[in-house]
Amino acid sequence: MVSFLRRAIVTLTALGSLALLAALAVARLTPFTGWWPVEALDTFALYAFAPFLVLPVLALLFWSRALTILTIIVLAFFGQQFGTQTLGAVGLLAPAAVTAQESRPRVRILTLNLHSPNSDPTQYVPLIRELKPDVIMLQEVTAAFERAFDRVLGNEYPYSVRAGTDTAHQGAGTWSRLPLAEREVLRPTSVVDDDHENNTMHRVRLLAAPGQDVWLYNVHLANPAAGKEGRRMQIMGLDSSERNDELAWLIRETANLQRPYILAGDFNSAAGSYPHRHFPTVWRDAFGEAGRGFGHTFPSPSTVGGRLRTFSALLPMLRIDYVLTSPVLEPVRAWTERVPGTDHMAVVADVALPAGQ
């Protein structure tokens, strides 16, 4: 009886593990994205490895060769997918050495999705004055927030561009210590939906240093987990088509730019997932190159008026906010900051400009 029970447990565990491993392989190693369960598994793949923790325990308990082999295969797959981030998160792997010379001018970018309604910039003033970013790129900016920001920080960040701030949560704003020149609202005509108001994005030319112009793109791609109202979060029925169309448009938009560029904001695309794997190789991921660990930004444990938000987690679970640069710019350092009043972490990145243009 004991032998039968042992075989049954080992067999069921092995079959279940193989099924989950196969599903993860499909989600992470193939371009198949047409079915929402696969997309959800792709997005939350890190946490889908949790059930495998039972494998080494049962392998030792039952001295099972089959479960031992499966454990080794799972560890190898996990290492291939998340090894670098895991080692960085526990302090065993530092970011790659930065080669940018100290003489090269740098800009510090801070990007944050405010999670509207949010009309109180004063809660961010201490962090902003401590970090002294050169450029602040915000998403879900409302008219009330931009007016308040100008009152409390307008003297320190006198240059700005805003778009869509007359909406509930589709607006964006960029504030800068450095002069801003040419600006343009970005409304990808190929993906405008008459039944849904898309997030408003914009670009602006930053006069970063004498002879050093950089295009700044304030990005907020469509949320594939949003309900028809555009605000209700849902996992069942994920629809990433609009987000993918906007991302494809953004890739085309930057493909032929002659000036250096920085893309910053909420891409609603988890690091390692299908859309992230298809970012152009010329896009340099600041946190990926100069950050440590996973850099998760959503959902941030946040409070409003001393109370935890309804949709919160003990720790952020996904990295969906990015600072990306063109090849001639070099990420020097990148990290995340927990801030109040929003379900996103802020991303901060120091970027070295070219030696000369």
Residue 38 tokens read as 């696969």
Is pLDDT of 236 > 70?
no
Confidence grade of residue 232 (pLDDT, cut at 50, 70, 90): low
Extents of the domains making up the chain: 2-89, 106-352
pLDDT at 305: 43
Is pLDDT of 73 > 70?
yes
pLDDT at 306: 44
Q: Is cis: bond before 299, omega within 30 of 0?
A: yes
According to DSSP H, which parts of 53-197 are helical?
Answer: 54-62, 65-89, 125-131, 143-153
CA distance 256 to 44: 33
Question: Which pTM was predicted?
Answer: 0.91
Helices 36-43, 2-29: crossing angle, 10 deg rounding: 90
Residue with tokens 């447990």: 9
Tell me the sheet residues that pair with 323: 264
pLDDT tens-digit map of 173-231: 999 999 999 999 997 755 555 445 689 999 999 999 888 899 999 999 999 877 554 45
pLDDT tens-digit map of 258-286: 999 999 999 999 999 999 999 999 999 99
Residue 85 gets the label, from left (phi > 0), alpha (psi -120 to 50) or beta, of: alpha
- Burial of 314 (C-beta count, 10 Å sphere; 0-12/13-18/19+): exposed
Is pLDDT of 310 > 90?
no
Tell how many helices (H) and how many strands (E) occur in the chain: 10, 14
Residue with tokens 């000036």: 259
With CA atoms as reference, report the closest residue to 352 among 327, 332, 326. 332
Tell me the sheet residues that pair with 308: 303
According to DSSP H, which parts of 30-91 are helical?
Answer: 36-43, 45-48, 54-62, 65-89
User: Does residue 303 sit in helix, strand or coil?
Assistant: strand
Residue 13 tokens read as 């565990």
Give the Å distances, CA to CA, from 230 to 95, 199, 222, 223: 37, 10, 9, 8
Whether the CB-CB separation of 298 and 316 falls below 8 Å is answered with: yes
CA distance 224 to 234: 9
Among 3.60.10.10, 3.30.930.10, 3.90.226.10, 1.10.10.60, what is the CATH number of 106-352?
3.60.10.10
pLDDT at 6: 87
Which residue pairs, CB below 8 angstroms and at least 24 apart, start in 203-206? Answer: 204/161, 204/174, 204/180, 205/180, 205/181, 205/259, 206/107, 206/135, 206/176, 206/178, 206/179, 206/180, 206/181, 206/262
Helices 54-62, 65-89: crossing angle, 10 deg rounding: 140
